[in-house]
Amino acid sequence: MASNSGHPGRILIVFTVLVAALFGIMALNQTWTPKLGLDLRGGTTITLTVSNVTGGGPVDEKSLSEAQTIIQNRVDSLGVGESEVTTANGNQITVSVPNVQQDELVRLVGQTALLRFRAVYAAEQVTPTQPEPEPTPTPSGSPSPSGSPAPSESPTSSPTGNGRPAPQLPTAPPPPKVPRPTEPGQGTPEDKALAWQPNQNDQADFASYQCGDKFPDVADQPLITCNREKTEKYLLGPTLIIGEKLSSASAGIPQNDVRWVVNLQFNDEGTKQFAAVTKALSAQTEPKNRFAIVLDAQVISAPTTVSIPDGRAQIEGSFNQATATELANILKYGALPLAFEVSSVDNVSATLGGEQLQAGIIAGIIGLILVMAFAILYYRGLAIVVLASLVVAAAVTYAFMVLLGSSVGFALNLPGIAGAIVAIGVTADSFVIYFERIRDEVRDGRSLRTSVETGWLRARQTVLIADAVSMLSAIILFLLAIGAVKGFAFTLGLTTLIDVAVVFLFTKPLMSVLARTKFFGGGHKLSGLDPNHLGVAALPGSRGRRRTVKVGDPAPKEA
């Protein structure tokens, strides 16, 4: 990076414009305060009680750990903010997240996201239950999963854009159960599932079923359920493809379209199964040519099926960016291997509270005062450079904390404040290195203005190396640490980058500008650049003989 010694004023102007732009963005967003972490503001805590999907038996430790990892990934998808996901008692997972509403967190982590693909054997339109003036007890329904489209439009899954036809009311009982003939032990699971046919008991259960009734969701058994808007009910066959065969899910807007969709991609095994299933179903008649995408025992969509050989599908509906992204995140991070019951949802108060925040701020102010006191005593007039650099670094750091909080969910915690306080020393150290290089250049006989430039050429490498070491420490700590310590590492890394920008774009240009003034460039005794303070008898280029002051010699008198 060049010194740009010829135009320091321009550099200062450009840097000032950039800093002003940061605060301008804050004004546009109408956000002036950073988000605070759990230890400073509090947040939401959910306790989940875990059980096996198939029911019965103790929860496997490996499955519990896998579930913890999946939930941590879901929570991290909310942003960079501090979060805690812990296990307890062998069957509980506790999730604590700052700055997230209860409903949003329950919707995100309280679902098993059990994704299954089933064949449709019967479909019937129903009228959503209207609220009565005096409500009567009704069977409780399962909570609506994340990413639910608006009730006004039923979502569809249309890999080819054909859409979903109007559902057909069954006019006659389905044919008796006639399994596809297979030898014992032969046939793939999807072959066996396709060979299944509903019997009279299944048909009776379907006829009496009302949306909201609970029906067991077992992979190798039929399922009777409704769509999430409760406008259509379905009799579905055994699972054809399980959610674990899904390799990715993403939200996006297809080309030449304006609607948000969720794109699905299966792994190699899932692609083969998906191709075989869609080929078989596409040859059936309505409604058996429909393919139900079932999430947590509720139908997301049940489109007409066409043969799809590449394992790609889309979930369409009245999604917006937020709901599509939320559903994609739930699917992307996998179906949880366990079933969850939300035992408690609590808004937690700050674990450290306002007093600790105030104590941290006071500690930072005391540190700043001590640094400034030392700078004034030792550097005299040049203390203005130290003070201005610290103020600018603090302003830029604060702006980034606010903007990162609103954009990626960064939450400031108490360890993060400690990292910001450490940055005071980092910024001051950079100036100390620079000033000592200037002294060396003056002692070598160069003029003050020249020493400011040549001293910078020697100092900047040392500054970069020191900041690189600090940055490397922050990165390693961020990658290896857990919990609140990540806040310290993130803030330390952020302030280190800001220190590099401030030293190059503010501290050095400001020194170049001051060296051209009579007060500083002329070596006034209060400027901090006087001959006595620089260790010479007289500034090079001025009247009088230059003499280097050695350690132990008495201080030279003013010329």
Is residue 155 in some structural domain? yes
pLDDT of 420 reads 82
Burial of 410 per CB tally in 10 Å (0-12, 13-18, 19+): buried
Q: Decide if pLDDT at 114 tops 60.
A: yes
Comparing 91-95, 188-192, 496-500, the range with the smallest average pLDDT is 188-192
pLDDT of 465 reads 92
Is residue 431 in some structural domain? yes
* Domain end among 273, 302, 321: 321
Q: Decide if pLDDT at 51 tops 50.
A: yes
Residues 509 and 492 in one domain: yes
Residues 458 and 406 in one domain: yes
Q: Decide if pLDDT at 16 tops 60.
A: yes
Residues 394 and 520 in one domain: yes
pLDDT of 156 reads 41
Is residue 486 in some structural domain? yes
Percentage of the residues of the chain whose pLDDT score is greater than 90: 12
Structure tokens at 1: 């990076």
Comparing 15-19, 343-347, 538-542, the range with the smallest average pLDDT is 538-542
Structure tokens at 316: 């369409």
pLDDT in tens, 315-365: 776 778 888 887 787 677 656 667 777 888 877 666 656 677 777 778 878
Burial of 247 per CB tally in 10 Å (0-12, 13-18, 19+): middle
Q: Decide if pLDDT at 181 tops 50.
A: no
Structure tokens at 487: 């806040």
- Would you place residue 112 in the very low, low, confident or very high pLDDT band (cuts 50, 70, 90)? low
Residues 316 and 360 in one domain: no
Number of domains in the chain: 3
pLDDT of 183 reads 38
Burial of 474 per CB tally in 10 Å (0-12, 13-18, 19+): buried
Q: Decide if pLDDT at 160 tops 60.
A: no
Three-class secondary structure of residue 52 per DSSP: strand
Q: What is the pTM of this model?
A: 0.53
482: CB partners within 8 A, 6+ apart: none
* Domain end among 81, 108, 135: 108
Q: What CATH code is carried by the domain that includes residue 471? A: 1.20.1640.10
Residues 98 and 123 in one domain: no
State the amino acid at position 388 in one-letter form.
A
Nearest to 221 by CA among 238, 233, 235, 204: 238
Half-sphere exposure of 88 (CA within 13 A, CB side): 10
Residues 499 and 364 in one domain: yes
Comparing 106-115, 228-237, 491-500, the range with the smallest average pLDDT is 106-115
Do the Cβ atoms of 454 and 441 come closer than 8 Å?
A: yes
Residues 118 and 60 in one domain: no
Structure tokens at 12: 């200062």
Is residue 407 in some structural domain? yes
CA gap 34, 494 in Å, rounded = 14
pLDDT of 551 reads 46
pLDDT of 333 reads 64
pLDDT of 167 reads 39
pLDDT of 54 reads 56
pLDDT in tens, 197-211: 899 999 999 999 998
Q: Give the orientation angle of helix 383-408 with respect to helix 8-29, to 10 degrees.
A: 30
* Domain end among 62, 80, 108: 108
Residues 28 and 53 in one domain: no
Which domain does 76 fall in, by range?
A: 43-108
Residues 420 and 298 in one domain: no
Structure tokens at 440: 């060396």
Which of 17-31, 251-265, 405-419 is modeled with the greatest confidence?
17-31
Do the Cβ atoms of 120 and 288 come closer than 8 Å?
A: yes
pLDDT of 20 reads 93
What one-character-per-residue DSSP string does 428-494 give?
HHHHHHHHHHHHHHHHTT--HHHHHHHHHHHHHHHHHHHHHHHHHHHHHHHHH--TTHHHHHHHHHH
CA gap 127, 193 in Å, rounded = 30
Q: What CATH code is carried by the domain that includes residue 97? A: 3.30.70.3400
Is residue 343 in some structural domain? no
Q: Decide if pLDDT at 224 tops 90.
A: yes
Is residue 294 in some structural domain? yes
Nearest to 154 by CA among 301, 325, 313, 331: 301
Residues 259 and 355 in one domain: no
Residues 315 and 357 in one domain: no
| Other Cβ atoms within 10 Å of 170 Cβ, number | 16
Is residue 332 in some structural domain? no
Mean pLDDT confidence for 496-506: 92
pLDDT of 208 reads 92
pLDDT of 189 reads 64
Is residue 341 in some structural domain? no
Q: Decide if pLDDT at 287 tops 80.
A: yes
Residue-averaged pLDDT of the chain: 76
Residues 400 and 257 in one domain: no
Nearest to 121 by CA among 210, 190, 199: 199
- Would you place residue 172 in the very low, low, confident or very high pLDDT band (cuts 50, 70, 90)? very low
